[in-house]
């Protein structure tokens, strides 16, 4: 029999003669591998799943026109707005021409989609009057908005032709019910000059709060959306930039004639709509009236670009995506992250990853202790055998290699079983919590098995070191 054959024969003989001790070492490695692999799979899967879950609460990226397309000064036409507008058109015409046209919306959407999955919705804002009081009306694609904002609670139905979706604050202020009617008036003077709807929406894009799922806190820089285009009186937040636009709109509508306020402010005429539903989010969306784009075009008599594009992007690096959009100056749009959505996502993931490392360190220490204790017990039982072998000429290195290989076998067996158990636990957790299946990560699986073997070998170093220092004379004298 060759030396290699004799080595493995002695090795397996030692393992099977002490099956209970071997089982203890395997179980210790199994528990460690199962826990670590389960935690690692969850740590990898949770950020992806969490990102998808957070995306259900609204946009994490918004795009608005840059200042040179708003037309507030009347000096230039909005490059992404309605064609043909110019400085000579006047403030009102320039305001109507503001916004992001359909081609630019499509181009921006292609850029976002190239970085990952995306859902988006567009919003066009106009200042309107209901019972002579100022409000903000948003022209939307109802299907797109509904697909983007799953957290919206709608009593009734979404807007269709001739029907509007009214925010809860508006409904309570006016006393509206589902199925009732509302007369909405549009005045060009309310949307002219610095108070144009495009200006208000652009300011909304630079202010805070993407949706009610985040917060209506107007001080959060970079978090913007359609929700902040409105407040509680003029459908706009008092502290956000769009509130200034609303104030200007209110002032501009109060035209002075012979030192008196024009009776135009008391004009309650307009177009009658049916109330299809009432939206209640607890956020600034509750102060806006939503209608189809076609109805807004018909009400204003002007078809122009949108003021805000909201994206729910699956891009792994939103900062890079925002930079790539903003670097293309020819697009005349500005992209921003919705800070409160992305910050919440990041905080949760960071917390979970920190917890993963802490638990992993604890599990590693416990595994080392468990395997090390078992190997130490095996060495004590084989003390006489080791002394006899050394007396017959076996080297310390040969004895050490045998114990290290034996420990590695325990670690490999425990790693295989533990990895399988860990994957089962991780899959069960993902199905139970996220209702999604979890594919097996083969690279992580191989690393888990190898780590279990390495941990077992490392744990056996102290007892093996003691075994190689046994004095055969002492052992034989005891016999």
Q: Are strands 163-167 and 61-65 parallel, antiparallel or unpaired?
A: unpaired
Tokens of 360: 């992993």
Q: Return mean pLDDT, the chain.
A: 74
Q: What is the pLDDT of residue 20?
A: 78
293 and 399 assigned to the same domain: no
CA-closest candidate to residue 460, choices 365, 375, 363: 375
Q: Which of 204, 228, 195 is nearest to 214 (CA)?
A: 228
Is pLDDT above 60 for 300?
yes
Q: Output 316 or 332, whichever has higher pLDDT.
A: 332
What's the whole-number mean pLDDT along residues 93-111?
75
How much is the pLDDT for 230?
A: 39
Residues 222 and 301 in one domain: yes
Q: Which of 288, 309, 337 is the last residue of a domain?
A: 337
Count of structural domains within the chain: 2
Q: How many CB atoms lie within 10 A of CB 397?
A: 9
In a domain, 195, yes or no: yes
Stated as kind and residue range, the H or E segment containing 442 is: helix 442-459
| pLDDT value, residue 225 | 42
- The confidence score (pLDDT) of residue 15 equals 65
Question: What is 99-141 written as a DSSP string?
Answer: SB-HHHHHHHHHHHHHTS-EEEEEEEEEEEEETTEEEEEEEE-
| Sequence-ordered alpha helix ranges (H) in 328-441 | 339-381, 383-391, 396-434
Q: Are 85 and 94 in contact (CB under 8 A)?
A: yes
Q: How far is residue 169's CA from residue 153's CA, in Å, rounded to a whole number?
A: 14
Examine residue 24 and state whether it is found in any structural domain, yes or no.
yes
* Residue 270 included in any domain: yes
Quick one: pLDDT at residue 60?
81
> pLDDT at residue 283 above 90?
no
The domain boundary, picked from 291, 317, 337, lies at 337
Same domain membership, residue 313 and residue 203: yes
Q: Is the residue at 342 inside a domain?
A: no
Which stretches of 206-313 are DSSP H helices? 241-253, 293-300
Q: For 12-21, what is the mean pLDDT?
A: 69
Beta strand segments in 38-111, E: 61-65
114 and 233 belong to one structural domain: yes
Q: Is 432 exposed, middle or buried (0-12, 13-18, 19+ CB in 10 A)?
A: exposed
Indicate if the alpha-carbon torsion angle 461, 467, 468, 469 is positive or negative: positive
301 vs 48 pLDDT, higher one: 301
Residues 168 and 202 in one domain: yes
The average pLDDT across 179-196 equals 77
Which pLDDT does position 265 carry in this prediction?
Answer: 59
Is 414:32 a contact under the CB 8 Å cutoff? yes
DSSP count for the chain of H helices, then E strands: 16, 12
Q: By three-state DSSP, how is residue 429 classified?
A: helix
Q: Cα dist. 31→64, 281, 376, 479 in Å?
A: 53, 46, 19, 38
- Mean predicted confidence (pLDDT) in 450-471: 86
Instruction: Tell me, yes or no, whether 87 lies in a domain.
Output: yes
For 289, the domain range is: 59-337
Over residues 403-425, the pLDDT tens digits come to 888 888 889 999 999 999 999 99
Average pLDDT over residues 142-170: 92
Between 278 and 199, the higher pLDDT residue: 278
User: What integer pLDDT is reported at residue 288 of this predicted model?
Assistant: 95
pLDDT of 432 higher than 90: no
What's the confidence (pLDDT) of residue 248? 41
Domain boundary (278, 303, 337) is at 337
- At residue 69, the pLDDT reads 39
Spatial CA neighbour of 69 closest among 57, 58, 59, 77: 77
More confident residue, 345 or 379: 379
My answer on whether 93 and 122 are in the same domain is: yes
Pair (274, 125) in one structural domain: yes
| DSSP secondary structure letter of residue 60 | S
Sign of CA dihedral 233, 237, 239, 243: negative
Q: Are residues 436 and 387 in the same domain?
A: yes
- Shared domain for 19 and 64, answered yes or no, is no
Arithmetic mean of pLDDT, 204-218: 37
Please determine, for residue 226, whether its predicted confidence score (pLDDT) is greater than 50. no
53-91 in b/e burial notation, b at 16+ Cβ within 10 A? ebbebbbbbbbbbbebbbbbebeebbbbbbeebeeebeb
Q: Model's pTM, two decimal places?
A: 0.56
> Are residues 247 and 117 part of one domain?
yes
Whether the per-residue pLDDT at 321 is higher than 80: the answer is yes
pLDDT in tens, 232-266: 333 333 333 344 434 444 444 444 444 444 455 56
Q: What is the mean pLDDT of residues 86-105?
A: 57
Same domain, 45 and 78: no
Higher pLDDT, 261 or 458: 458
**Do 277 and 398 belong to one domain?**
no
What per-residue confidence (pLDDT) applies to 384? 79
């Amino acid at each position: 029999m060759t030396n290699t054959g004799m080595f493995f024969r002695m090795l397996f003989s030692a393992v099977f003669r002490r099956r209970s001790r071997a089982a203890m070492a395997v179980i210790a490695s199994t528990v460690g591998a199962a826990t670590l692999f389960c935690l690692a799979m969850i740590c990898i899967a949770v950020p992806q799943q969490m990102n998808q879950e957070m995306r259900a609460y609204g946009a994490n990226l918004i795009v608005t026109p840059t200042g040179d397309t708003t037309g507030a000064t009347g000096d230039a036409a909005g490059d992404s707005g309605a064609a043909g507008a110019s400085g000579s058109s006047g403030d009102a015409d320039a305001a109507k021409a503001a916004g992001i046209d359909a081609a630019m919306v499509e181009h921006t959407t292609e850029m976002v989609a190239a970085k990952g999955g995306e859902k988006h919705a567009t919003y066009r804002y106009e200042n309107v009057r209901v019972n002579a009081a100022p409000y903000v009306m948003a022209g939307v694609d109802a299907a797109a908005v509904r697909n983007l904002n799953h957290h919206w609670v709608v009593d009734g139905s979404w807007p269709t032709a001739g029907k509007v979706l009214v925010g809860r604050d508006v409904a309570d202020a006016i006393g509206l019910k589902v199925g009732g009617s509302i007369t909405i008036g549009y005045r060009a003077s309310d949307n002219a000059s610095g108070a144009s709807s495009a200006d208000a929406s652009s300011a909304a894009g630079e202010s805070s709060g993407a949706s009610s799922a985040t917060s209506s806190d107007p001080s959060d820089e970079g978090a913007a959306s359609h929700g902040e285009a409105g407040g509680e009186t003029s459908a706009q937040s008092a502290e956000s930039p769009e509130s200034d636009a609303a104030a200007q709109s209110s002032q501009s509508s109060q035209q002075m004639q012979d030192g008196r306020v024009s009776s135009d402010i008391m004009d309650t005429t307009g177009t009658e709509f049916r109330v299809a539903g009432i939206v209640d989010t607890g956020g600034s969306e509750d102060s806006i009236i939503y209608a189809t784009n076609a109805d807004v075009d018909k009400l204003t008599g002007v078809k122009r670009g949108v003021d805000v594009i909201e994206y729910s992007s699956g891009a792994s690096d939103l900062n890079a995506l925002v930079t790539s959009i903003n670097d293309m100056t020819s697009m005349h749009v500005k992209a921003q992250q919705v800070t409160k959505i992305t910050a919440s996502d990041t905080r949760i993931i960071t917390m979970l990853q920190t917890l993963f490392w802490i638990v992993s360190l604890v599990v590693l220490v416990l595994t080392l202790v468990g395997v090390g204790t078992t190997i130490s017990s095996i060495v004590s039982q084989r003390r006489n055998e080791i002394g006899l072998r050394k007396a017959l000429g076996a080297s310390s290195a040969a004895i050490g290699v045998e114990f290290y290989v034996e420990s590695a076998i325990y670690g490999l067996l425990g790693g295989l079983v533990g990895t399988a158990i860990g994957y089962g636990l991780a899959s069960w957790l993902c199905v139970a919590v996220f209702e999604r299946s979890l594919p097996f990560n083969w690279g992580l699986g191989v690393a888990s098995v190898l780590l279990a073997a390495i941990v077992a070998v490392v744990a056996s170093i102290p007892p093996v070191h003691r075994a190689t220092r046994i004095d055969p004379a002492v052992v034989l004298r005891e016999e």
